[in-house]
Chain A
Amino acid sequence: MTDFDGLRCAVRPGAGLVARFPGIVCVAQVADDQQALSHLGALVELCRETAGSSPGRVLARRLASWLGGIGDGIEQLRFGAVSATADDGLAVFLVGGVRLLIPELDTEISGTDAASWTDRLLVRPEAPVQLTLDGAAQPAGPGSEMYDLRAGVVPGAGVVLRHADTLPGHDVVVPALAALRQAEAPSPVHPPPPLSPPPAPPVTTAPPVTTAPPVTTAPPVAPAARPMLAPPLRAEQILGATEDEPRPPLASGHSGIHHHEPAGPGGDGAAEAPQAQGHLCSRGHLNDPRSHFCVLCGIRMNERTGLLVIGDRPPLGLLVFDSGTTYTVDAEYLIGRMPDADERVRSGALRPIAVDDHTGSMSRVHAEIRLEGWDIMIVDSGSSNGTFVAPPGEGFEQLAPGESRRLVPGTKVRLGEATFVFESPSGVR
């Protein structure tokens, strides 16, 4: 997930022009005449106008349309642009003797690969990318890797784009995650209209100039070489892998909930069910002695059940997140952006609830769900942005760090951008 505008852009000296705008880096060179210079100005202006957070596809379309319209003159133009696309891609557009090189990935694309121009969409690579006018770049001097064009138009014959933290010598290994995607060229780039035959050339002593042949199909692309993508962190064969010990057949299951086998923190049912004192309903469900109705079947608690008994505590309810993700409260939880980092999760004392957060408002370890007898408590774990609790029919109130609050069914809890509701297991209040 490379941030295009965060890349370091080292300009290589030489005859030509290098420009950088948000989402776009380009290099160009034209012949020294009035028409060619006006083309160059138009190209730079087109890039400037298209610049933005992910201009790649639009830029390719506009460049193709502009080149299709200028008629002759294209053959004297050398132009290359790389630009970001929304899906972490890199749009490459090359005209004439310009080359894109990704040495670590053995990737080389030239503007002369096709008769008109070369138009490709790559996965945005982690490895350094070079965009250079053919034969024009002077050797890079010492320290030139530290050059960094942030924005603007400067003289130069090429650029090297790389992560700011991958300067040579830092010995940072960056996984080469990149591929050519032949199958999907940037959104339909319409071929330019067939060029009209060149106007009768004025009598000149210069060698005749050939126009690009009319293009009637999409620009040809190199044969589909399958990309090499970096292997993942872990990969395991599934089909045909060595079989584990055969398991006993799946349990039939019980018809009543009161026989349930509560899962331990590891989820494999190894842990003993926590015990609790309570009343039995007439169907044998153990209940909080304070409740008048069985929380599982909803029937009124019988008079004869005034006797307290000790039994397996049933799950106390559900945490229903706004995303729909639902957790059964039969164990204690730690909620946060990275709950796995906490010792209590690693040791199995608490189960993790990992919540993705793009806003930075959720702390790595944000809040805990604790069980005390029949009560379910929420505790703020010293989060940066606080834990907010709203009992049914009331407004949100922030918990002090370390403060615990009992959740009654229907209570809403807000942590960062996430919200969940504590729901009783039967829907009966």
Chain B
Amino acid sequence: MTAASATPAAIADYEIVRMLAEGNNGRFYLARPPARLGLAEEFVALKVFGDRIGEQAYERGVRELRAFAAVRSPHLVRVFDAVLDDRFAYAMEYLPLGSLAAPAQPLPMPTVMVVLEHAARAAHALHEAGLAHGDITPTNVLLADEGDGRIGGRLSDLGLARLLSPGNTLTGLGRATSVEFMDPDLLAGARPSRRTEIWALGATVHRALSGAGLFGELPDAQPLLAIRKVLAGAPQLHPGLPPEVAELVGECLAAGDARITSAREVADRLAQMSST
């Protein structure tokens, strides 16, 4: 559950340029893809998992990634290749503009709304295809140049932890605060469903539009305290949110039948707010 320290020069047959980010059970590297892929791209983002896994778990991961890649949505990152060597890794398109959590440049509010809407549409496409993303957070909503000077959103980094290591509910190696985006029902043993995904979308919208967390600031370096704070407290909406956003987030987090039932509805509500 710890990772190798230094940036290696190569991983499998990928030439590593530099590390991009760390989180969700592994590290992202900027890499040059091997010729066998025949890609036009000079660079890819290579996700390398921290834990060693066996071939069976690798095959489960490959099946899930293929199912992910087969989903037709313009708002999902493209995944090219999976490899198992010393570690499990997969390659996806490299998006240099960063993520909602760490944009390469400050984003105007209308852009943030569009990016969030795209993330919700991507999640809906996954759900319709029978997949749960499992790890919707601002870090995993990447920014893409739509080609016309506008910025759109791409949902990235399918959460594979549960699949690779059954029972694994939260991954280490990332920021402990990612528990902020996890429906507490998952900690209590619920399985990922549209319901838990919509909770994560709501938490992502909340963080992106208010800059604050639903549980205040969680202790990043102390995962146990972060989990206890989430389990013991109730999510609090930031008072600075515009009323219609607060209403939407509230309905994403709601207990019982009051919760929004599809990610498409989240996307449509965001689009409606953008247009008014």
Contact = CB atoms under 8 A, between A and B. Distances in A.
A and B: bona fide binding partners: yes
Interface of A: 86-89, 121-124, 177, 179, 181, 183, 226-227, 229-241, 243-244, 246-257, 260-263, 265-267, 269, 296, 314-315, 318, 320-331, 333, 340, 351-356, 358, 418, 421, 423, 425-428
The 6 A-B residue pairs whose C-beta atoms are closest, nearest first, are: A253-B193, A247-B130, A267-B166, A253-B195, A427-B231, A323-B172
B191 A123 contact: no
Given A233-B85, A243-B70, A255-B255, A321 B172 contact: yes
Nearest to A252: B194
Contacts of B265: none
A240 to B, nearest CB: 8
A267 B195 contact: no
Given A88-B9, A121-B9, 20 more contacts: A87-B6, A89-B9, A123-B10, A226-B32, A231-B12, A236-B81, A247-B129, A250-B194, A253-B193, A253-B195, A254-B193, A255-B255, A263-B191, A321-B223, A323-B173, A325-B168, A326-B168, A328-B189, A354-B53, A425-B187
Interface stretch (B57-65, B105-113, B140-148, B206-214): B57-65
B69 interface: yes
A251 B165 CA distance: 21
27 contacts: A123-B10, A181-B9, A226-B32, A229-B15, A232-B84, A235-B82, A243-B66, A244-B70, A247-B130, A247-B131, A249-B130, A250-B193, A250-B197, A260-B188, A260-B191, A320-B170, A323-B1, A323-B2, A325-B168, A326-B169, A326-B187, A327-B168, A328-B187, A330-B189, A354-B52, A356-B50, A356-B52
B169 A318 contact: yes
B12 A232 contact: yes
Interface stretch (B149-157, B242-250, B256-264): B256-264
Contacts of B126: 250
Interface of B: 1-3, 6-10, 12-15, 17, 32, 34-36, 50-55, 58, 62-63, 65-70, 78-85, 90, 126-132, 162-163, 165-174, 176, 185, 187-197, 223-224, 227-228, 231-232, 255-257, 259, 261
Contact of B162 (A240, A247, A267): A267
B165 A353 contact: yes
Contact of B185 (A88, A240, A257): A257
A232 B83 contact: yes
Contacts of A232: 12-13, 83-85
B223 A249 contact: no
A324 B168 CA distance: 11
Nearest to B7: A87
B1 A325 contact: yes
A318 B227 contact: yes
B223 A324 contact: yes
A351 B167 contact: yes
Contacts of B227: 318, 320, 326, 423, 427
A121 B7 CA distance: 14
Nearest to B82: A236
Given A233-B85, A423-B224, A330 B78 contact: no
A239 B167 contact: no
B224 A251 contact: no
Contacts of A426: 188, 231
Contacts of A251: 191, 193-194
B6 A88 contact: yes
Contacts of A231: 12-13, 34, 36
A158 B58 CA distance: 44
Contact of B6 (A86, A252, A253, A267): A86
Contacts of A323: 1-2, 172-173, 223
Contact of B224 (A235, A267, A320): A320
Contact of A326 (B35, B55, B70, B170): B170
A356 B1 CA distance: 5
B62 A236 contact: yes
Contacts of B67: 243-244, 247
B195 A254 contact: yes
B256 A179 contact: no
Nearest to B193: A253
Contact of B188 (A257, A331, A353): A257
A354 B188 contact: no
A429 to B, nearest CB: 11
A355 B1 contact: yes
B47 to A, nearest CB: 12
B258 to A, nearest CB: 9
Contacts of A266: 166
A234 B167 contact: no
A238 B66 contact: yes
B69 to A, nearest CB: 5
A325 B126 CA distance: 25
Contacts of A263: 166-167, 191
A354 B12 contact: no
A352 B194 contact: no
A241 B69 contact: yes
A260 B187 contact: no
A418 B1 contact: yes
Contacts of B197: 250
A318 to B, nearest CB: 6
Contact of B191 (A177, A261, A354, A355): A261
Contact of B63 (A239, A244, A356): A244
A237 B10 CA distance: 19
Contacts of A253: 190-191, 193-196
A181 B188 contact: no
Nearest to B174: A324
Nearest to B229: A427
Contacts of B224: 320, 421, 423
Nearest to B85: A232
Nearest to B3: A356
Contacts of A322: 223
B170 A265 contact: no
B242 to A, nearest CB: 27
A232 B14 CA distance: 9
B80 to A, nearest CB: 5
